[in-house]
Structure 1
Amino acid sequence: MAQTTAAGGYYPPVGFHFKVEFVGIGNDNDVRFQAVSGLSIEFDTEAFKEGGENRFEHTLPVRTKYPDLSLKRGMLTDSKVIDWCLDAFQNRVFNPVHINIVLLNEEHQPLKTWNVYNAWPKKWSVSDLNAQDNSIVIETLDISYNYFTVN
């Protein structure tokens, strides 16, 4: 994976060239999202008071936590991913999947990949329908998962 450089130095990658792969489900259009948010990780902490030390408390890391992913795109009328979501919401059939969020370079080659494990649909919403607006219908998927790794 070569980094893009120019006469002045390194250019960071752009945040608009990516794809979202639902491993085992989806079709060619199911990788096209306009926004991904929630790729972050943080520690829960626990305060520990040391006897005789009144100036401060120790703060210790306990476990990691991952917020829900939020995926947005123009609504698809033929989507295996939405079928997967509706199976969970309507039939209470949860089939956790692996999701790859791939940041791409200008040659459409992977620069970074976030591997999301045991993902399941938590919420599906559709933007407001309004006859006075000239806009496309946006669907938003909120996905809960166990953890992710970065390659």
Structure 2
Amino acid sequence: MATDDGSIEGATWPMPKFRFEVDLGTELTKVAFQEVSGMDVENQIIEYRSTNSPLFSVEKMPGITKYGNITMKRGIFVNDNTFWDWHQQIVMNTIKRRTIVIKLLDESGNITMQWTLNNAWPTKISSTDLKSDGNEVAVDTIEIAHEQLIVSNG
């Protein structure tokens, strides 16, 4: 049944994905990104067959958890080398790891869901392609490895 304001009573709608912000865990908070992708997790499968199993099949058990790399894209701004400076900190297997928080916002700007990446560090940076006849925005892409993904609600 519709209410006075035109909404459907008791209806719940999926969240739109276009309003979000990323906190890189530095003095630069709320960095504006064009796209964030790759927030996935999977478990390796361990196959085991007990010698006294009446079935001629294996049991499948969860193994080590594996997190995919996060890819983030954002526009290039004048005198902003944030990604490159962070990547330059990698020296012989040492890097300053960060906690990165990706926040999905509602229409009022309140956090509805967030993904926390622990021990994150940049593995790859790709700068924009350059075309003399193009009119697109220049975009940097950063790929971030991490060791844990925690999902929580606002």
Shorter chain as denominator, the TM-score bin is 0.7 to 0.9
Shift of the 27–114 alpha-carbon distance from structure 1 to 2, 3 Å rule, reads closer
Give the RMSD, CA atoms, in angstroms.
Answer: 2.1
Alpha-carbon shift at residue 79 of structure 1 (Å): 3.2
Shift of residue 108 of structure 1? 0.6
> Normalising to structure 1: TM-score of the pair?
0.84
User: Which residue in 2 is equivalent to 1:129?
Assistant: 130
In structure 2, C-alpha distance between the alignment counterparts of 1:102 and 1:27, rounded to whole Å: 12
Give the Cα separation in 1 of the matches to 2:114 and 2:85. Answer: 23
Unaligned runs of 5+ in 1: 1-5
Partner of 1:34: 34
Q: State the 1:75 CA deviation.
A: 1.4
| Residue 90 of structure 2 corresponds to residue 97 of structure 1 | no
1:148 matched to which residue of 2?
149
Question: What are the within-5 Å matches in structure 2 for residues 57-68 of structure 1?
Answer: 57-68=58-69
Q: Aligned with 2:88: secondary structure?
A: helix
For structure 2, the residue ranges without an aligned partner over 5 or more in a row are: 1-6
* Larger Rg over CA atoms: 2
Identity, % of aligned positions = 25
Question: How far 1:45 sits from its partner (Å)?
Answer: 1.1
Shift of 1:99: 0.4
Figure out how many residues of one structure are paired with residues of the other and give that number: 143
Instruction: Tell me which residue corresponds to 1:15.
Output: 17
Cα-to-partner distance string for 1:28-71 (whole Å, 9 max, x where unaligned): 6xx10011111111111111123365632211111211000000
Shift of 1:76: 2.5
Q: Is the 8 A contact 2:22 2:29 kept in 1?
A: no
Greater helix content: 1
